[in-house]
Amino acid sequence: MIMLEVSPKGIVLPVKAHAGGKLNGITGEHAGALKVSVTQAPEKGKANNAILEVITEALGLKRGQIELVSGATSSQKKFLIRETAREELERRLALILSEDCG
Helix (H, G, I), strand (E, B) or coil at 82: coil
Q: What is the CATH number of the domain that holds 56?
A: 3.30.1200.10
Which residue, 97, 53, 68, 63, is CA-closest to 83?
63
Q: pLDDT value at position 99?
A: 79
Euclidean distance between CA atoms 63 and 32, whole angstroms: 24
pTM for the complete prediction?
A: 0.94
Q: What per-residue confidence (pLDDT) applies to 35?
A: 98
| Domain coverage including residue 62 | 5-96
For residue 100, which phi and psi values (nearest 5 degrees)?
-80, -25
Taking only the tens place, the pLDDT of each residue in 3-59 is: 999 999 999 999 999 999 999 999 999 999 999 999 999 999 999 999 999 999 999
CA distances from 44 to 40, 41, 50, 74, 97 (A): 10, 9, 12, 13, 29
Q: Is residue 102 part of a domain?
A: no
pLDDT given at position 102? 46
β-pairing verdict for 33-37 and 10-18: parallel
Give the count of domains, the chain. Answer: 1
| Position 86 in a domain | yes
Torsional class of 31: left (φ above 0), alpha (ψ -120 to 50), beta (otherwise):
left
CB atoms within 10 A of CB 26: 22
Confidence of residue 100 (pLDDT cuts 50, 70, 90): low
In a domain, residue 101? The reply is no
